[in-house]
Amino acid sequence: MRASATTIARWGALLLAAQGCSIVSAPRTPEIAKPGIANAPAPGRPVRIGRASWYGPGFSGKKTASGAAFDEEKFTAAHRTIPLGSRARVTNLANGKSVEVEINDRGPYVQGRIIDLSQAAAHALGIVDRGTARVRIEVLPDGGGR
């Protein structure tokens, strides 16, 4: 059976229309900030989004990766790749609270988490009781780094 040119054109148009209507979503990556959230970061600054946790009791006085003694009352944090000595703004995406921390340690080592905050920083962000929160991390340009 031979299809007419009109039938072929109709099927072709139908296929093109079906392709144009399909919805393809890009995979979500935790490294891209969504526009329109409170305290949006400055354009061009490195931003990461993911789950934060906190640490404190049991670590006070122990040496951090930077060589400084850990103090749970200072606004510090551990991150796997941000240079030690850098400053970063961490924002709790659930409540909009934000703090500046110094990256002075490495971690976290729990899968699915991107930053470990000192108890003081976690308290200021309102995540001590919950233990973790979804946060945005913005590396600040005057942070130095070593």
Report the CATH number that the domain containing residue 64 is assigned in CATH. Answer: 2.40.40.10
In-domain check, residue 27:
no
Mean residue pLDDT of the chain comes to: 78
Q: Is residue 69 part of a domain?
A: yes
pLDDT at 67: 95
Per-residue model confidence as pLDDT tens digits over 91-146: 999 999 999 999 999 999 999 999 999 999 999 999 999 999 999 999 998 755 54
Residue 86 lies in a domain: yes
**Could you tell me if residue 62 is inside a domain?**
yes
41 falls within a domain: no
| pTM of this prediction exceeds 0.85 | no
Using an 8 Å Cβ cutoff, are 125 and 136 in contact? Answer: no
pLDDT for res 3: 56
Please check the confidence at residue 21 and state whether its pLDDT lies above 90: no
Q: How confident is the model at residue 13 (pLDDT cuts 50, 70, 90)?
A: very low
Tell me how many domains the chain contains.
Answer: 1
pLDDT in tens, 57-100: 788 899 999 999 999 999 999 999 999 999 999 999 999 999 99
Cβ-based neighbours of 89, under 8 Å, separated by 6 or more: 39, 41, 98, 99, 100, 137, 138, 140
Q: Which domain holds residue 91?
A: 47-139
